[in-house]
Amino acid sequence: MLWVKAFHVIFMVTWFAGLFYLPRLFVYHAMSDDAISNERFKIMERKLFYGIMTPGALITIALGLWMLHAYAWEAYKGEMWLHMKLTLVLLLIGYHAWCWKLVNDFKHDRNSKSHVFYRWFNEAPVLALIGIVLLVYIRP
């Protein structure tokens, strides 16, 4: 199970690399106004979302569910930190789905949001990461 936990954390880092960088690409994409940049950002967004972020998310979630099933649910189901962590993870999955919608909006040249919006949008995964890591390690 220590191997599973280690790879859970490794793929969580992969997932977060995308959660931090994709909205940053949206910031630059929303500021760009020439066709070459537009096409280049579309490729970068597609590869990051489908090649790195989504596999990272799926494997992190699969390994987390594996640990829950194997021992962690029985051990911690009475503890608040686990329920709060899982709630934050659900919000993160919602954020991931929103990113998917935004990647598609850019792909079809129908982005309607400003770079300022994406700068704020970029902060949400930071809060989720701080929240989840504090819950997992401090277990308040």
Q: Does residue 6 bind ligand HEM (CB under 6 A)?
A: no
Q: Which of 52, 59, 67, 124 binds ligand HEM (CB under 6 A)?
A: 67
Per-position x/- string for 90-129, each x denoting binding to ligand HEM as judged by CB under 6 A, each - no binding: --x------------------------------------x
Q: Does residue 10 bind ligand HEM (CB under 6 A)?
A: no
Q: Which of 52, 72, 124, 134 binds ligand HEM (CB under 6 A)?
A: 72
Least Å from the CB of residue 43 to ligand HEM:
27
Closer to ligand HEM by Cβ: residue 5 or 119: 5
Least Å from the CB of residue 124 to ligand HEM:
12
Sequence-distant (6+) residues with CB within 8 A of 66 are: 4
Report CA Rg, the chain. Answer: 17
**Which residues of the chain form contacts with ligand HEM (CB under 6 A)?**
5, 8-9, 12, 60-61, 64-65, 67-68, 72, 89, 92, 129, 132-133, 136
